[in-house]
Structure 1
């Protein structure tokens, strides 16, 4: 028997639990800290019985302080396990590079140079193929030494999805026609077009990032909160409090 889908307007969070789902950070520690200060302030002046802060992945690459972002998230989770973090494709790409320094991989081609810089490591390459390979090999070895074990353990610990109430949280989206519990990990961190183009309702509202939009995209079946924080200076979150849903934004300098 097919489970009927749910529309965003009808969706509810768990009773007594306020949810904050934060989009792609990409090394913007300044915006992440500002968002957390705002959330802490809300929880103080408008208390709730319980809460969860859900980070939707892509903590590293492109922005200036990937190391600082991971330090911040590791500390937040240690202080209170209600701070939750999901894996994004860039986070997995960082782990992949630490294992194997692929010159054509996601990390090297899409923002990993900035991530390495945040750890005090240069990944600049020479012009010749041999020089490039040797320089990358040295940079990889230096980065492996520079990244704390706690950061590697953190990245390896990240789940690929979670659900609360009528909401399903993941980095990129889901493949239509497949039950939420059977989604492929690659789809959860990489999928785009087939997910975005699907107009039918899902078992739950899918809250995701991964594909940048100028402002939060609220659809009948999904919510996209990736507002290109590293470049736009705008970090966005979805707030769910029972039947109430709203968008929360932190704005800083453009990247």
Structure 2
């Protein structure tokens, strides 16, 4: 059973998450922005998060159109990747919202498998098998050969709605709003945002996470999780809280120079 979402406002004099310094004095140019971390097939959590976001921005819009940024990794690991994509596609069609969907490394790995299932077979081992199963495709075994992999790819394309593939192929790499830049994994320290390499935006870890910054903007990212707490630092905000494993999906609200963390939790059975 799902509990209601917890909304934890963050003040700038304390750090309730124990994850480093909180961002301070940043602006979003008058926008009301929400960013949502890695979903990984947890449609159950996404449903609750969307309901809470709707309640939250209904109290705050005052004529503004909320900006919803999703940080990628919608598919894999969890059991409901198709339902997650359906929900995001529906959401992006709403005229009262500005929905920005970023590409994660798992979406790229899925696209690579569709393009060349033999070369991209490792995708099956880090979440792709669950996605195939969710689409009704039997995942190839570890000893499967090229023909088995191609048959699985063909079966996936037969079962995947065309709208899912189109959306996967048109995901964004970066969104900037005010003093914030939103990406999936992070950025290469020392490189201008305009000069970032796509692979870094999707896959980078250590060099970004260990960097003390500052960057051109505060980087809001997913991709790497430690536990169910977001990673709060002066130069970055990590929103991946391992939803597929922890049962916690995390988002942030950015408004003027204030922020609040929202979390959807799955109660223990």
Same fold (TM over 0.5): yes
**Residue 72 of structure 2 is aligned with which of 57, 61, 66?**
57
Determine the structure 1 residue equivalent to 2:169. Answer: 156
- Whether 1:36 aligns to 2:45 is no
**CA positional deviation for 1:213:** 2.2
- Whether 1:69 aligns to 2:84 is yes
**CA positional deviation for 1:53:** 0.7
Counting helix residues as a fraction of each chain, which structure ranks higher? Answer: 1
**CA positional deviation for 1:254:** 6.8
Q: Aligned equivalents of 2:139 and 2:128: distance in 1?
A: 8
Unaligned runs of 5+ in 1: 1-6
1:1-255 matches, within 5 Å, as 8-15=23-30, 17-48=31-62, 49-80=64-95, 82-102=98-118, 105-125=121-141, 129=143, 131-214=144-227, 215-253=229-267
RMSD of aligned C-alpha atoms?
1.8
**CA positional deviation for 1:132:** 4.2
The question of whether the paired residues in 1 share the 8 Å contact of 2:113 and 2:120 is answered with: no
The question of whether the paired residues in 2 share the 8 Å contact of 1:13 and 1:241 is answered with: yes
Q: Aligned equivalents of 1:254 and 1:104: distance in 2?
A: 36
1:80-114 CA distances to partner (integer Å, 9 max, x unpaired)?
35111000000011111111113664421101111
**CA positional deviation for 1:253:** 4.7
The question of whether the paired residues in 2 share the 8 Å contact of 1:29 and 1:66 is answered with: yes
Q: Aligned equivalents of 2:159 and 2:138: distance in 1?
A: 11
Alignment coverage as a number of residue pairs: 245
The question of whether the paired residues in 1 share the 8 Å contact of 2:112 and 2:120 is answered with: no
The normalised TM-score by structure 1 is 0.91
**CA positional deviation for 1:203:** 1.3
1:161-198 CA distances to partner (integer Å, 9 max, x unpaired)?
01001000000000011111111110000001000111
SS at match of 1:79: coil
SS at match of 2:24: helix
**CA positional deviation for 1:68:** 0.5
The question of whether the paired residues in 1 share the 8 Å contact of 2:34 and 2:69 is answered with: yes
Q: Aligned equivalents of 1:116 and 1:143: distance in 2?
A: 7
Determine the structure 2 residue equivalent to 1:4. Answer: none
Unaligned runs of 5+ in 2: 1-21
1:30-71 CA distances to partner (integer Å, 9 max, x unpaired)?
111111100101122333423101000000000000011111
